[in-house]
């Protein structure tokens, strides 16, 4: 698939080639299982607590509706048929009151612990069980039902009343088993008690009232069958639901990290917002499946590069916490989750930056590159969407250099271990250096210097250095065409900054700044370099972010879908 016709505003979508895996998102988002910790753990407990609260809400809603309908029916249709109406009204009112209070607690914003929720569960189902038990006892008490029956129909009526009572218990037991998250043992203990209660009441009632004993016991076999069936359904359902929940929880874990939600897709995998199970520290995890990486050498190269990037310690480089392989071969790495926006988003939403802010951010990028270049790493894909402006420790506009996914070690790789080929393109065409555009293999730190200059051009003008209709035209422009001066797009660009940008974007690497330290000094020497203060940065974020820096998934959501052409 060609990217020649991709809209020019979508800088992060303009790439040299479609990922060889075809971008099948369903394959990327398949469950990845890596069970390194056995048992529920705090993360699972939190999930169960949230699930229990949700299920209790649903259960009580169903019971409230059913109970209200039953109340109205008895009040309007059967109310005059019994002489115990005042007592029935009293107990019904008490039950409705209990459910309304429980509903208020469950739907409130008040945090409820697992023990609080279990207490509510016991109160809700216990009160209903007590009401059902009272109904069953009161129906047969003192021959009330017998007196209300037309002579000759006693057996039929008692049997139907007994089955009606059994069905109430059946619904209560199955509702508990299928709605309330439990271990099968706990569920068996609760539903076993509920199932035995109506049977015990029937037997006890027949012993206390010999005149109706035969009628009452006529419904006992069906009651036993219904209770046993309800208990079996409840226990089996609870066990299977719990099993599926544990499997789902395990599938959402990579090592000691729990996956919370998907943030985006890159060329070789998916990125998730995650949380460390014990530390509760938010992070981002990128999963790279072998079938998404294309050539196996690409995955080997990527793993080696992540290992190299993990050695970087500069605070302006995104921190990698962990990396490894899941059981199915998926390679993953864990990085810090940044609240803020990438520079592409900032320019798209708020327009070109003032020179002083661009200088403030670019200098931080140079300082991050200084460490990387010092150990022989070049980034090769520096662009606005790979630079993040975030808040760290109440300091605003902290720049973070992201996505070292194309990082390359220069000056250390022998021909026998090369994983890229001469003439292979890598990077993003909109910000690519001439030597990258020409497919040269021997890249060095000066290629990153060109990338930084292209980013500076974009931040100041809101335009690409070479905005062309197709990828090939863009590559040709980077390699051979003269640069349009920044003042043609924005007159207020300081001359000293214009000069720095022009030198960064020289076609010949020998004419550029030779390292990140020299570029940083040149940027620091600009007249407006010290004008973007900590106070101004904080005020900008408060004005545009309602006093906070909103969490953004841009750190990974807009990750470049880049891959080495020809692999």
Asked whether the beta carbons of 253 and 259 are under 8 A apart, the reply is: yes
Residue with tokens 């990974």: 556
Backbone angles phi, psi at 396, to 5 degrees: -100, 160
> Which residues sit opposite 331 in a β-bridge?
288, 325
Give all strands (DSSP E) within 98-161, no chain letters.
none
**Pairwise CA distance, residues 384 & 65, whole Å:** 56
**Pairwise CA distance, residues 88 & 141, whole Å:** 13
Which ranges of 268-342 would DSSP assign to H, the alpha helix? 290-293, 296-309
**Pairwise CA distance, residues 405 & 64, whole Å:** 56
For residue 151, the Cα-to-chain-centroid distance in whole angstroms is: 67
Region of residue 141 (phi > 0: left; psi between -120 and 50: alpha; otherwise: beta)? beta
Residue 381 appears among annotated catalytic residues = yes
Asked whether the beta carbons of 293 and 265 are under 8 A apart, the reply is: no
- Sheet with 282-288: strands ordered across: 253-254, 257-266, 269-276, 282-288, 331-336, 320-325
> In the structure encoding, which two tokens stand for residue 477, read together?
């422009």
Region of residue 439 (phi > 0: left; psi between -120 and 50: alpha; otherwise: beta)? left
> Residue 106 belongs to what H/E stretch?
helix 85-107
What interhelical angle do 495-504 and 516-524 show, nearest 10? 170
Computed on alpha carbons and rounded to an integer, the radius of gyration of the chain in Å comes to 35
**Pairwise CA distance, residues 248 & 9, whole Å:** 39
Counting Cβ atoms within 10 Å, is residue 528 exposed (0-12), middle (13-18) or buried (19+)?
A: middle
CA distances from 357 to 343, 458, 530, 534 (A): 11, 13, 9, 11
**Pairwise CA distance, residues 63 & 172, whole Å:** 9
Catalytic residue among 322, 328, 381, 508: 381
Residue with tokens 């250095």: 465
* 78 DSSP 8-state letter: I
What interhelical angle do 114-140 and 184-208 show, nearest 10? 20
∠ CA 221-226-228, rounded to 5°: 95
**Pairwise CA distance, residues 21 & 11, whole Å:** 22
Report, as residue numbers or ranges, the catalytic residues.
381
């Amino acid at each position: 698939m060609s990217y020649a016709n991709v809209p020019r505003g979508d800088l992060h979508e303009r790439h040299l080639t479609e990922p060889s895996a075809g971008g099948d998102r369903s394959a990327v988002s398949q469950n990845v299982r890596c069970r390194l910790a056995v048992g529920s753990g705090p993360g699972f407990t939190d999930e169960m607590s949230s699930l229990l609260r949700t299920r209790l809400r649903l259960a009580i809603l169903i019971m409230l509706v059913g109970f209200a309908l039953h109340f109205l029916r008895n009040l309007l249709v059967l109310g005059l048929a019994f002489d115990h109406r005042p007592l029935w009204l009293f107990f019904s009112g008490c039950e409705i009151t209990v459910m309304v209070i429980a509903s208020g607690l469950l739907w409130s914003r008040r945090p409820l612990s697992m023990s609080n929720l279990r207490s509510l569960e016991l109160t809700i189902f216990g009160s209903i069980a007590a009401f059902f038990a009272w109904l069953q006892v009161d129906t047969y008490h003192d021959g009330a039902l017998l007196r209300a029956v037309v002579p000759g129909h006693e057996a039929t009526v008692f049997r139907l009343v007994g089955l009606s009572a059994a069905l109430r218990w059946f619904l209560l037991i199955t509702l508990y088993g299928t709605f309330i998250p439990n271990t099968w043992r706990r569920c068996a203990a609760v539903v076993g008690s509920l199932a035995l209660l109506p049977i015990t009441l029937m037997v006890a009632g027949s012993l206390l009232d010999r005149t109706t004993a035969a009628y009452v016991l006529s419904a006992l076999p069906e009651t036993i069958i219904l209770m046993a069936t309800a208990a079996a359904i409840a226990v089996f359902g609870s066990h299977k639901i719990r099993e599926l929940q544990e499997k789902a929880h395990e599938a959402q874990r990579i090592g000691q990290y729990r996956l919370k939600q998907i943030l985006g897709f890159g060329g070789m995998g998916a990125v998730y917002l995650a949380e460390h199970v014990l530390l509760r520290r938010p992070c981002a995890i990128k999963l790279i499946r072998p079938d998404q990486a294309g050539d196996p050498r690409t995955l080997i190269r990527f793993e080696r590069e992540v290992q190299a990037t993990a050695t970087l310690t500069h605070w302006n480089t995104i921190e990698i916490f962990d990396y490894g392989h899941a059981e199915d071969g998926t390679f993953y790495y864990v990085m810090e989750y940044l609240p803020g926006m990438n520079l592409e988003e900032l320019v798209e939403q708020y327009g070109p930056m003032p020179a002083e802010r661009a200088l403030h951010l670019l200098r931080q990028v140079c300082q991050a590159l200084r460490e990387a270049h010092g150990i022989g790493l070049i980034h090769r894909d520096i662009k606005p969407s790979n630079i993040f402006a975030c808040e760290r420790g109440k300091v605003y506009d902290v720049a973070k250099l992201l996505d070292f996914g194309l990082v390359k070690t220069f000056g250390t790789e022998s021909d026998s271990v090369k994983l890229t080929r001469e003439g292979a393109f890598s990077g993003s065409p909109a910000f690519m250096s001439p030597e990258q555009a020409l497919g040269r293999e021997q890249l060095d730190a000066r290629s990153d210097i060109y990338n930084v200059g292209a980013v500076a051009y974009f931040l100041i003008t809101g335009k690409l250095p070479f905005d062309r209709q197709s990828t090939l035209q863009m590559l040709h422009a980077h390699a051979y065409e003269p640069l349009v001066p920044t003042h043609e797009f924005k007159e207020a660009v300081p001359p000293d900054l214009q000069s720095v940008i022009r030198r960064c974007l020289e076609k010949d690497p020998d004419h550029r700044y030779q390292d990140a330290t020299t570029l940083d000094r040149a940027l620091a020497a600009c007249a407006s370099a010290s004008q973007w203060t900590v106070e101004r940065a904080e005020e900008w974020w408060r004005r545009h972010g309602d006093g906070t820096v909103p969490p953004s998934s841009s750190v990974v959501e807009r990750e470049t879908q880049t891959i080495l052409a020809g692999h």
